[in-house]
Amino acid sequence: MTGIDARAARRATREDRRVVLHAHRAGYLALRGITRLGRVVRVPGLGVVVSDAARMRQILLDPVTYSKVGPGGSDRLWTPIIGPRGLLNMDGEEHAHLRRKLTPLFSQRFLRSIVDEVLTPEMDRFEDAMGRREDVDVVAVIERAAALIICRLTGYPEDDAAAQLARAREILGFVTLTTKEFSDAQLAVVHEKLAVLNASTRAAYRAAAPGTVPALMRAEGITEEDTVSVVTAMIVAGTETIVSFVPRFTNLLIESGHLDHLARHPEDVPAAVAEAMRVTVPSPVMIRSVLRDHRVDGVRVRAGERIILANIFACARAGDFDPSRPVPKEMRQLWFGAGAHFCIGMPLAALEAEVFAAALARAAAAVGPLRVRSRVRKQRTMAASYSRLVVRAERTP
145 contacts: CB under 8 Å, gap ≥ 6: 118, 119, 122, 123, 352, 356
Beta strands in the chain (DSSP E): 40-43, 47-50, 66-67, 136-137, 286-290, 294-296, 299-301, 306-309, 370-377, 386-393
200 contacts: CB under 8 Å, gap ≥ 6: 154, 156, 157, 160, 164
Say what the pLDDT of residue 1 is. Answer: 46
Rounded CA separation 294/368 (Å): 57
Rounded CA separation 147/156 (Å): 10
- 8-state DSSP, 282: S
For the chain, residues with pLDDT lower than 70 are 1-2, 72-77, 83, 86-89, 160-162, 164-165, 168-169, 171-181, 395-397
Say what the pLDDT of residue 310 is. Answer: 95
Cα–Cα nearest to 155, from 223, 102, 114, 208: 208
pTM (predicted TM-score): 0.89
Say what the pLDDT of residue 396 is. Answer: 59
Say what the pLDDT of residue 88 is. Answer: 67
Say what the pLDDT of residue 180 is. Answer: 64
Cα–Cα nearest to 284, from 381, 188, 376: 381
Q: What is the DSSP string of 181-229?
A: ---HHHHHHHHHHHHHHHHHHHHHHHHT-TTSHHHHHHHTT--HHHHHH
Say what the pLDDT of residue 213 is. Answer: 85
Cα–Cα nearest to 175, from 311, 285, 337, 308: 285
